[in-house]
Amino acid sequence: MKRMDEFLEDQNKIETKRAYRQHINSYFSILKVEPEKYFEQGRDYDQDFLDFAKAIINYSSRTRAARLNAVKLFLEYDDDIIISKKILKRTVKKIRVRTLTLDTIPTNAQLKQILQHGTLKDRALFLMAASSGMRISEVLQLEEEDIDFNHNPVMIRIRGEISKNGLPRITFISNESKEVLLEWLKVRDDYLKQAISKTIKSPLAHPKNPDDKTVFCFSYHTAQRMWNRLLTKSGYDKKDRSTNRMIIHIHSLRKWFETRMSTTGIPEAIYQQLEGHEGYLNGAYKRYTQHELAENYLEAMPKLSVFEATPDLSGVHEQLTEVTQDNKELRQQLNDLRMKLLEVELKQVQELQRRDKK
């Protein structure tokens, strides 16, 4: 659709383009109209906008606001269609105040159970996100040339144009993530070809570019569906009653990274810099060198592995200490008993000697 392509071309970020396309396609899908014919039918755009707002009433307030804003901007592109203030006021009123989901950070065992239900594509994406601290939106925009497989550990260069705050940075992935990622890259091109053939049959589907260079050649929406499917299969699909969102949601992987890092004794500024927190990139805090970041990451890597994780030995050291102490006490008691036996034997010998003298 020419109008949509031109509208999306004016957006700066790739992820924004993808999100807007998804929201606009949702608009046409709900209205049950072909995009190519929509502007030729003399429709009541105010009513369409209102119907769309009603259809997504049960979505989270954040999602509803994003979809309505995308559609509004698209309709108003080139000052062609202006949604009336009355309709905008009515739809804005219906957007609930955003309620935060009481999210949960999965344990290492839980994450392992979740990913065991995944395909190669699932594991490659989510292990990469979990072990690097990257946002899913950043992972999805990576190209193979952004990944240095010859570096130890494997280094990811996050370009400024794909990072959320616009600042470039580096991070790393674990060895197990590297192995799965290499396997995914072997079949990635075949996946893209199959995806292209499927989208050709659906006019509302996000068109696939055969020249797509991204490592994971699919949208954020697809990644979200992948994650939710894994949660359902593994039995961790519990939802927050207030927002109806999964309490272990896709963003929990980033929090998992931070939580695991915090148990290593590595300075907080190290993993905050790897995650891309702006304060640790713009000079407000000490910026660590690439070598320092890599050294610290290698030290923390066992904690960032899921399937090759170092066993949790919490409590074992205490038990060993107790056993060692018990053994020490037993040895002391045994020595004391031996000394007493020697004393008894000595007294018996002395008594026998006195008797012989008599």
- Give the closest residue to 187 by CA, choosing from 116, 124, 118: 124
pTM: 0.64
Q: Which residues pair with 214 in a beta bridge?
A: 143
Identify whether the C-beta of residue 261 lies closer than 8 Å to the C-beta of residue 153. Answer: no
Identify whether the C-beta of residue 83 lies closer than 8 Å to the C-beta of residue 46. Answer: yes
Task: Using pLDDT thresholds of 50, 70 and 90, give the confidence band for residue 314.
Answer: very low
| Residues 170-210: tens digit of each pLDDT | 999 999 999 999 999 999 999 999 988 887 766 555 667 88
Q: Which residues pair with 155 in a beta bridge?
A: 148, 172
- Give the closest residue to 271 by CA, choosing from 251, 292, 252, 250: 292
Please tell me the distance from the alpha carbon of residue 179 to that of residue 173, in angstroms, as a whole number.
10
Tokens 């990072």 sit on residue: 163
Higher pLDDT, 280 or 250: 250
Cis amide prior to 168 (ω within 30 degrees)? no
| Residues 223-236: tens digit of each pLDDT | 999 999 999 999 99
Which range has the top average pLDDT, 124-133, 160-169, 276-285, 333-342?
124-133
What's the confidence (pLDDT) of residue 203? 56
Amino acid symbol at 237: D
Contacts of 84 by beta carbon, 8 Å cutoff, 6+ apart = 46
> CA-CA distances (angstroms) from residue 278 to 20, 157, 244, 253?
26, 16, 31, 19
Domain coordinates of the chain in residue numbers? Answer: 2-94, 108-304, 314-358
What's the confidence (pLDDT) of residue 82? 79
What's the confidence (pLDDT) of residue 15? 75
Alpha helices in the chain (DSSP H): 2-9, 14-31, 35-38, 45-55, 61-75, 85-94, 108-115, 120-132, 136-139, 175-200, 220-234, 252-262, 268-275, 290-300, 316-357
Instruction: Give the burial string for 58-97 (b: 16+ CB within 10 Å, else e).
Output: ebbeeebebbbebbbebbeeeeebebeeebbeebeeebee
Identify whether the C-beta of residue 303 lies closer than 8 Å to the C-beta of residue 264. Answer: yes
- DSSP class of residue 289 equals P
- Give the closest residue to 168 by CA, choosing from 181, 158, 153: 158
Task: Using pLDDT thresholds of 50, 70 and 90, give the confidence band for residue 168.
Answer: very high
What does the mean pLDDT of the chain come to? 84
- DSSP class of residue 101 equals -
Q: Which residues pair with 169 in a beta bridge?
A: 158
- Rounded mean pLDDT, 318-331: 68
Please tell me the distance from the alpha carbon of residue 117 to that of residue 104, in angstroms, as a whole number.
19
Is the pLDDT at 146 greater than 70? The verdict is yes
| Residues 73-111: tens digit of each pLDDT | 888 875 567 788 888 887 766 554 444 556 789 999 999
**Superfamily of domain 108-304, CATH level 4:** Intergrase catalytic core (1.10.443.10)
Please tell me the distance from the alpha carbon of residue 157 to that of residue 168, in angstroms, as a whole number.
8
